[in-house]
Amino acid sequence: MKLFYKIKRVGLLIITAGILITACNKAPLPPAPIAQPVQGTSPTLATLLDNPDSSFTFLKAAVVRAGLLAALSSPTQRYTVFAPDNTAFMLSGISSVGVINSLPVATVAGLVSYHVIPQVIASTSIPTTFPNFEYPSILNPTTGTPGFNPLVRLTNFPSRRGSAAWINNIPITATNVSAVNGVLHKVAVLVAPPTRFLWDSISTSADLTYLRAAVIRADSGVAVAGTLQTALSSFGVNLTILAPTDLAFRTTLTGAIAGALIPLITAQLIAGGATPAQAAAQAPGIALAQATTLAATPAVFSNPALFGALSAQTVKGIVVYHILGTTIPGIRVFSVNMPTTATQVKTLLNQAVAVHPGVTVRATFAGPFVGAATVKGLANATASNIIINPANPFATDQNYINGVMLRIDQVLMPQ
Amino acid sequence: MRKIASYMMVLFLANILTSVAFAQSSTISGKIVNRTTNESISAVSVTIKGSQVGTFTDDKGNFKVNFNQKLPVTVLFSSVGYALQELVVSNPSDYLTIQMAPSNSLGQEVVVSATKVAQKILESPVSIERVSAANIRNSPVSSYYDILSSLKGVDFTTSSLTFKTPSTRGFNGSGNTRVNQIVDGMDNQAPGLNFSVGSVIGLTELDVDNIELLPGASSALYGTGGMNGTILINSKNPFKYQGLSFQVKTGIMNADTRYREASSYNNWSLRWAKKVSEKFAFKIGTEIISAKDWLGYDKRNYLRKGTTGNIITGDRASDPNYDGVNVYGDETTTDIRTAVLNAIGSSAAPFLKNFIDTLNGGRPINVSRTGYNENDIVSPNTLNYKISGAFHYKITPGIEAVLSGYWGTGNTIYTGSERYSLRALKVGQYKLELNHKNWMVRGYTTQENSGESYNATVTARLFNENWKPSGGATGWFSQYSQAYLGGRLNGLTDFAAQQLARSSADVGRPVPGTPAFKSGFDKIRSLPIGGNPGGGLFVDKSDLYMVEGQYNLTHLTSKFADILVGANYKQYNLNSQGTLFADGGGIIKIGEYGGYIQATRNLFEFLKITLSGRYDKNDNFKGRFTPRATALIKVANNNNIRVSFQTAYRFPTTQQQWIDLDVGSSTRLLGGVPFFQQKYNLNTNTYSLNELPSVTTPYTVRPFKPEAVSTYELGYKGLALQDKLLIDVYGYYGQYQDFLTRRLLVKPSGNNTVNDIVAALNNGVAVSNVANIYSIPVNSPSKVKTYGFGLSVDYRLPASFMIGANVSSDNLKDVPVGFAAYFSTPKYRANFSIGNTGFGYKKRLGFNVAYRWQDAFFFEGDFANETLPAIHTVDAQISLKLPATKSMLKLGANNLLNQYYTNSAGNSIVGGLYYVSFAYNVF
């Protein structure tokens, strides 16, 4: 029996040992979540607007009126805010917080939203390359319309050259004010959201009536979906159009038509009894007079007598030579994005003539703005000037929903 | 072949004729009791010395034997656990009362499977383990099959409560096809599903007479398949074990409600055997197990790469491409950048192109669909019902005919390359057999019906598709992508946008437990796999037919050697109606025949040499010869050294030959027969996915062949310390070649070329978008080597105490870098047990405590790979015998300390099971 008890004790020991050992079985662990970056709680983009020098009180008021304060306070959202300070508001014609609060909410919301990009873009990440990189803002132009599409966004174009940076053509004056939910860059003036399409402008501007007529002429015989008018009226494309003014068109057309008429008039004069020498002497004057008359109105593009000289194809070739970028949807180039050394930039003409060298562009800066810029067509004798608005340099570039327009003083000739 | 068969038939007839020439004349009867306790002893063999005549005591210990020898005769009484007794009887009218002395001697058990001839376990020339009915009775295990896990060198893969797969010497896996399981002489591998069904549809617990386990290579006598061992389970003969017995086990599982609500475990079994006359006996048995199953609950994130992968960090909330191990339906994944967003950027919203291009740093945005947990889609109700019966008829005293049937059905869970819910799986085995001491003929069939079994992964994926298709303009991924993009456009962080996108795309997702979920899920799981519309259901009604015979020529050849010959023919009828196999055009038949011969000779007093060889031929493969040579050296009485060289090989399974299964994501599992090379045009413009993108030359499909292993083994088994200590030790070294594994081939789809596949690989795009993927079985060109050892000691202490301990080790070496061997085996494992079958009050108490430890190891499976931690378990039972009714009350615990573990990646997590049982007439 003694032995029995001994064994019993041994047995108990074994069981105890078993308990101790078996207590360490490892059942499968729960899945380990992927660690999310730890972040602080302040400042948020919203609290940055309450800075000590009170320079963002206008913007704060606008954000509040736009109903965006919650979004800019949210720790689970990330934005880049291009922030106009109070001075920028005033430069843009908004003189007080009261003005902001008197504007319709939708207007203020649109304005503020266009200054906000839903991702974090530190200044070092602002693209430096030509052409531009397109960033959606949080402004959805279809909000509240029957055609609402949640993915539609107006876009803007931050760019940087060296230490200078812009959003669209508006200089960025200070960068990288960090918040836990994004980054803030100060801008010189308000970045107004575009509300119109390029075609809205081309078809209504008093000084672009020839361009309008040229586009219509270029589109003749083309199915609607493929016309330039459609592209110029479409959301989602990016066209940079160098728009010759009516004056430029008249000059060019007069010269061109006169040139085309001289041989005809010379032949008529000789047939009428003039000697070749007389005819040669008189013809340019007569041709110029007739050409001036013919080119005096945009109807020149729809004059059947000139269909030979200004065929739809010829006109189209000229028009597309004024649109930068080789494809639709295209590229958007503000004057500030133009190279400072003469650089060839291809145009939509390259769709038809792949090897065409394009136009030669060159800009000269005066401070943060372009003081002078030229663009030269391959067949032009001289470069045409991009028409700079000396009073308001921000108005040199006309930004539209689907592109940007720069006026020029010559028609660019591809050949 | 034909000659051998006809020769055997002649011998067979000769035996019948000589046997029936006898006539009966005398009868003796009596009762046998235990000398110590005076209890009657059942199933004692009573034989007339020098004749084939004999009987067994019934369940009351009574016997009656008729014979025609001249008096006096010597009667032998023998029973395991008692000393052999002889009695000379001269007056047959005496009613004999025989007292037999209990003898608890070690190593005296008789085994058959090692050489197909009965011999003492101590004299087996190869390693063998044996489990007796008494072992089962005194074990703490809740189901007899589990007792195998306490044997040395055995590993278990536990897929669920009733689906457990034992293996030896490495290469573990659920439904391991490298271990043969033979129940009453019948291979019980399911002919279509390919796993052995021993733990689901085998013998009932009360009908198990013994289990023998041959570890390691063992196909020289048992035929193709036994690469990693052969398990033989034999039932009780109704002539020997008579009467009615039953057992009721009731217990509790999931007691701590950690993974499920606490639930009951019920295991009721019943056996009734009756010897109607000296010629005729029958038995019937049934068993029912019901419980709430263990749960596959591994929710860790799995990075799946075809049929391999690894655990990574991340959960459903933090990883948009989360694919939980035991979460189903989330295998459907796509790169939404390629699938949806790029198209938005290029046409619908070009103003967003730059934005889209910069999302996630420009890298692919992989997203998986939301999955369902295992307990949402797999019924927890394990049910296992078995019924079996047999008629035994002695045509002559020496020839016993057996007609038997075994049928079972149940619900259980199995893990292959996916997790499968086996529901109402039905397997029947029916056998007709004639036994003589010198020969045996047997014919049997296995009839499989997969019932309502379904692939949980496929079903969950298709259930998701049925609710909301993944693709298309309004599909789940499109909705997800748009919501994600919208979220990002509104400034949400990637994390927040992904969550918003998931909640948007999952709006209206069926919630588990609701009637809508149930009806939807039930619909998908009842549609056949690969059908149109497809579902997760297997339609498998494959069958196996087999005939075999064996003749022991020893009585004719003993002067030269003991010679044994045998042969078999089997035919598989694959019938899945085109859902699993390429049998859409009708049943596929595969024939296989084989024959073996074994010669044994004692060379000196101390040396016994056995040579065996087996030849097998399958319709689809060249014939294979497997030799075996063993030597048994008797170093002293009851002390033997064994040396063996064994080989084994395995014909590819029926699935490896003929499977033709679309598993989704443009991926198809194929068999290896040449048929498929034509059907899917694999001989041209097909590339190896494993070698792309570096190798872009087309892949050449080579003929595949059986895999093989050869093993050298040295062992010792003997008794020491006045026969109280039994030692068994072995060491082995084996080499595997032509390993059967799978390889992924890709064939460019549509107008794509190999360059598109290379581009997809380089860009992290799903290959299935540009190619069809085919998984084909191939032989690995690499040879791998295994080695290991095992040691066990059993010590008989005074007062009926027994202690036992074993330790074993298996190792793999020479594995080429990057080669998945699926070894999946712990380097070391150990068992320790202490027990007593009779102590305390009138020696009626018993107990057993078993402790098992296994080392941490890396588990490689098609379903999941991971390093599993070490496992410790304690099983224990305490019992009380009630001799008056031959009953036993038992209180048992498996995994006593409820320490949850899983022994194979992605399989069920096993906790404690506690039960009380009452068994009537079981000893």
Residue pLDDT, tens place only, A84-101: 999 999 999 999 999 999
Secondary structure of residue A239 in the 3-state scheme: strand
B358 touches chain A (CB under 8 A): yes
On whether any CB of chain A is under 8 Å from the CB of B856, the answer is: no
Other residues' Cβ atoms within 10 Å of the Cβ of residue A272: 8
Pair type for strands B607-618 and B208-215 = unpaired
Contacts of A119 in chain B (CB under 8 A): 355, 358, 488, 491
Q: Which residues of chain B lie closer than 8 angstroms to A404, CB-CB?
A: none
- Residue B645: strand pairing partners: B629, B712
Given this model, what pLDDT does residue A130 score?
A: 85
- What confidence tens digit (pLDDT) does each residue in A197-230 have? 999 999 999 999 999 999 999 998 889 888 999 9
Chain A contacts in chain B segment 774-833 (CB below 8 A):
797-799, 801, 832
Amino acid A3: pLDDT:
47
Mean pLDDT, rounded, of chain B: 89
B638-to-A80, A321, B105, B530, B715 alpha-carbon distances in Å: 88, 106, 12, 60, 14
Q: Does the distance separating the beta carbons of A76 and B351 come in below 8 Å?
A: no
Among partner residues A31, A71, A236, which is closest to B350 by beta-carbon distance? A236
Within a 10 A sphere around the Cβ of B380, how many other Cβ atoms? 17
Q: State pLDDT tens for residues B40-58.
A: 888 888 888 887 778 888 8
Q: What percent of chain B has pLDDT over 90?
A: 53
Query: What is the average pLDDT across B877-881?
Result: 95
Confidence of residue B24 (pLDDT cuts 50, 70, 90): very low
Q: How confident is the model at residue B11 (pLDDT cuts 50, 70, 90)?
A: very low
Highest-confidence segment of B169-173, B472-476, B536-540, B727-731: B727-731
The pLDDT, as a whole number, for residue A17 is 54
pLDDT for residue B1 is more than 50: no
Residue of B254, B373, B493, B845 best to disrupt the A interface, most CBs of A under 10 A:
B493
Q: Decide if A3 and B798 are in contact by the 8 Å CB cutoff.
A: yes
Least confident piece of the model among A281-285, A403-407, B6-10, B665-669: B6-10
Contact B355 A135 (CB under 8 A): yes
* CA dist list (Å): A100 to A58, A65, A190, A195, B636: 8, 8, 13, 19, 109
ipTM: 0.86
Mean pLDDT check: name the lowest of A354-368, B733-747, B798-812: B733-747
B276 near A CB under 8 A: no
Of A25, A135, A329, the CB nearest to B899: A25
- Mark yes or no for CB contact B491/A77 under 8 Å: yes
Q: Is residue B15 predicted with pLDDT exceeding 80?
A: no
CA distance B298 to B906: 6
Percent of chain B with pLDDT over 70: 96
pLDDT of residue B800: 84
Contact A36 B495 (CB under 8 A): yes
Q: Tell how far CA A350 is from the center of its chain.
A: 21
| Rounded average pLDDT over A12-17 | 55
- Nearest beta carbon to residue A34 from set B314, B349, B896: B314
pLDDT value at residue B10 = 47
Q: How many residues does chain A have?
A: 415
Residue of chain B nearest A136, judged by CA positions: B352
- Evaluate if residue A15 carries a pLDDT over 60: no
Residues of A in contact with B909 (CB under 8 A): 27-28
Q: Is B349 on the interface with A (CB under 8 A)?
A: yes
Give the DSSP H or E segment for A58. helix A57-66
Interval B734-749 mean pLDDT: 87
Residue B30: Cβ-neighbour burial (10 angstroms; 0-12, 13-18, 19+): buried
Query: CA-CA distances (angstroms) from residue B453 to B188, B414, B449, B663?
Result: 18, 10, 9, 16
Say whether pLDDT at B392 is over 50: yes
Q: What string of H, E and C letters represents the secondary structure of B482-522?
A: HHHHHHHHCCECHHHHHHHHHHHHCCCCCCCCCHHHHHHHH
Residue B324: CB partners within 8 Å, gap ≥ 6?
Answer: A31, B298, B299, B300, B301, B302, B315, B316, B330, B371, B373
- Interface residue A138 vs chain B (CB under 8 A): yes
Measure the CA–CA gap between B324 and B330, rounded to whole angstroms: 7
Predicted confidence at residue B808, as pLDDT, reads 96
Angstrom distance (rounded) from CA B247 to CA B632: 41
Question: Which runs of E-coded beta strand occur in A251-358?
Answer: 323-324, 343-345
Q: Measured between alpha carbons, how far is B384 from A399 in angstroms, rounded to an integer?
A: 77
Q: Look up residue B315 and give its two tokens.
A: 């959960």
Lowest-confidence region among B49-53, B163-167, B461-465: B49-53
Question: How much of chain A, in percent, has pLDDT values that exceed 70?
Answer: 93
Which residues on B lie below 8 Å from A237 (Cβ)? 350
For A:338-377, CB contacts with B below 8 A are: none
Q: Judge whether A11 is closer than 8 Å to chain B, CB to CB.
A: yes
Distance CA B38, CA B150 (A): 33
pLDDT tens by residue, B774-808 = 988 888 887 889 999 999 999 999 888 999 999 99
β-partners of residue B186 are B183
- The per-residue pLDDT of chain A, averaged, comes to 89
What is the per-residue pLDDT across B171-207, written as a single tens digit (0 to 9) for each? 898 888 889 999 999 998 999 888 888 777 778 999 9
Confidence of residue B305 (pLDDT cuts 50, 70, 90): low
Residue A24 above 70 pLDDT?
no
Amino acid at B183: V
